[in-house]
Amino acid sequence: MNLAEILIIDDSRFELMKMEHYLSEMNACQPTFIESPAQALDWCQGNDPDLVVVDYQMPGLNGLDFIKAFREIAGREETPLVMITSSSTESVCVEALKGGANDFICKPVRKSEFLARVSNMLALRKKQKNSGCTIQRLNKEVDATEKVVTEREAEIVNRLAMAAEQRDNETGMHIIRMAYYSLIIARNLGLPELQQQMIFRAAPLHDVGKLGIPDKILLKPGKLTPEEFRVMQTHTTIGGQILSKSSSALIQVARDIALTHHEKFDGTGYPKGLIGEAIPLSGRIIAIADVFDALTSERPYKDAWSLESATTFIKEHSGSSFDPRCVDAFFSRWDEVEEVYHHKDDITGFMSGELKY
């Protein structure tokens, strides 16, 4: 059985002995008696009492000074506290309550009143702890539910993205690699972890709008005519429409990416010709990740570029096609980029929602 821990602070050894005698009649409690308020504060740094009983008039720190310092200790904001005072005047009692005391006892301390107030405060503490356990349990249940929802949402997003990629005759690994490249950029930009993960998870849906492009254009082996290219460009707005009006934060990020990943930093991109920071940061990040992986990947209509050639292209178009800050972030940890590149056909854990990096 857990014993309730009670801290008693009084500079009078006689008063401490008297209260120790009173408490001997109570079961399931473990009292600690300290004469110095300063020593009591030191004790409280490493101990978490269920109840504090403190005298008002003491040398050095008085009772109110102790309460103020005690309440500033992390986790002691709600600990029941009773002040003992030799004055029964209303002003002193009100001062004690305003100072953070939950109750007070006037001297001389009578056993029946003392034990009654101690019992009431310990009952209050028990309810606090039970309530805290319930809240903690409910929070764990909510966290577990949110984890399941997040995993299911990530899986649905990934499968939808792979459906779009497969229709375009590209390997599903493209969306995985470019998602990791995007994560590298987001992290090296110093973005909050939640934002990093949102971009990482939403990146695969960048080309979901290709589901709305006719096969004769999407699957054409040769060069597109100007008119066909204009139709192909609409995959950005189609993607934005597919992902619009969602309450999911992940889908909202994916919408921005689908709509703006072909915008260029200098305003020459599509569909809206946005310039600079008018382009959502997520779109600016994916623009680099998507182009870099496309360049370094073999396609039916082209050979894969070397790392050196792709690197030169990205750097030469920094400030025109790409956000220079994002370019710098991409190359600031080149070892991570190379790791993704060299394991480009064996990046695991993506579908389950597990982050490798």
Cα end-to-end distance, the chain, whole Å: 46
Task: Write down the pLDDT at residue 77.
Answer: 84
Q: In the chain, where are the structural domains located?
A: 4-137, 168-342
Under the banding of pLDDT at 50, 70 and 90, the label for residue 357 is very low
**Both tokens assigned to 158:** 């990934």
The CATH code of the domain at 168-342 is 1.10.3210.10
117 vs 260, which has greater pLDDT?
260
Q: What is the pLDDT of residues 118-159, one digit of tens each?
A: 888 888 888 877 776 655 666 665 555 556 556 667 667 766
Sequence-distant (≥ 6) Cβ neighbours of residue 290 within 8 angstroms: 178, 206, 261
**Both tokens assigned to 317:** 């178009």
Residue the block writes with tokens 């503490």: 125
Under the banding of pLDDT at 50, 70 and 90, the label for residue 165 is low
Q: What is the pLDDT of residues 199-227, one digit of tens each?
A: 998 998 999 898 899 989 888 877 889 99
What is the average pLDDT value for the chain, to the nearest integer?
A: 85
Amino acid at 153: E
Contacts 24+ apart (CB under 8 A), 315-321: 319/265, 319/266, 320/264, 320/265, 320/266, 320/268, 321/264, 321/265, 321/266, 321/268, 321/269, 321/287, 321/291
Q: What is the pLDDT of residues 179-196, one digit of tens each?
A: 999 999 999 999 998 899
Amino acid at 113: E
User: Count of CB atoms within 10 A of residue 158's CB?
Assistant: 21
Q: What is the pLDDT of residues 313-343, one digit of tens each?
A: 999 999 999 999 999 999 999 998 998 888 7
Q: What is the pLDDT of residues 277-289, one digit of tens each?
A: 999 999 999 999 9
Helix (H, G, I), strand (E, B) or coil at 149: helix
Sequence-distant (≥ 6) Cβ neighbours of residue 12 within 8 angstroms: 35, 55
CATH class of 4-137: alpha beta
Task: Write down the pLDDT at residue 351.
Answer: 41
